[in-house]
């Protein structure tokens, strides 16, 4: 009985802990003062989820994407649907790691789980992409401000679990400037 319970727990964990969805990071436009990173997403075949993906996990020209944006400032974030539209009004989070355990949402989440500028950023009509500016929440003032964050650590894309369309495709672009 004990072995059966352990087997069921492992099956349950493996079913829900890993998403078959994918995120591929691609370079976009870049010159001496600008670099764009594209997070190309494909939702899981069973629940539409994609894994959180950071700029250290994939490379460009043999280097982690983080190297190309280090010291630059986040200027704009855009999101648009692909051929199979995702759930309408899905929330996007773009985190920057300050160290291995501490991250902040560059789009102004107060608690890293409630979207602000990334709220409903993903529209389900490909022709109607949405864009937003980076944001800072000042707890003392209790207000949000447009803030062009200087990139000092890896960036992680996280998509809310609101996105539930199986095999949905979409792209999130982050534009960085010097």
Residue ranges of the chain whose pLDDT lies below 70: 1-19, 126-128
> Tell me, what's the pLDDT at 127?
63
> Tell me, what's the pLDDT at 66?
96
CA atoms within 13 A on the CB side of 66: 18
Residue 1, strand partner residues: none
What is the number of residues in the chain? 178
Helix and strand element counts for the chain (H, E): 2, 13
Q: In the structure encoding, which two tokens stand for residue 165, read together?
A: 């369309």
> Tell me, what's the pLDDT at 11?
38
Q: pLDDT per residue over 125-167, tens digit each?
A: 766 688 899 998 888 888 898 999 999 999 999 998 778 889 9
Helix (H) or strand (E) holding 3: helix 2-17
Q: Which CATH class is domain 20-177?
A: mainly beta
> Tell me, what's the pLDDT at 40?
96
pTM of the entire predicted model? 0.83
Q: In the structure encoding, which two tokens stand for residue 50, read together?
A: 């994609």
């Amino acid at each position: 009985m004990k072995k059966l319970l352990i087997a069921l727990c492992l099956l349950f964990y493996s079913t829900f802990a890993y998403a078959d969805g994918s995120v591929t990071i691609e370079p976009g436009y870049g010159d001496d003062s600008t670099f764009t990173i594209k997070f190309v997403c494909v939702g899981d075949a069973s629940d539409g989820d994609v894994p959180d993906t950071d700029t250290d996990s994939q490379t460009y020209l043999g280097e982690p994407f983080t190297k190309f944006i280090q010291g630059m400032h986040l200027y704009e974030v855009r999101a648009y649907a692909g051929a199979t539209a995702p759930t309408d009004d899905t929330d996007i989070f773009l985190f920057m790691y300050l160290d291995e355990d501490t991250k902040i949402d560059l789009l102004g989440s107060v608690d890293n789980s409630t979207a602000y500028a990334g709220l409903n950023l993903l529209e389900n009509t490909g022709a109607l992409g949405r864009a937003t500016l980076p944001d800072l929440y000042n707890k003392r003032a209790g207000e949000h401000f447009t803030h062009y964050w200087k990139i000092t650590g890896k960036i992680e894309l996280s998509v809310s679990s609101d996105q539930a369309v199986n095999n949905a495709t979409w792209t999130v672009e982050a534009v960085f400037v010097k």
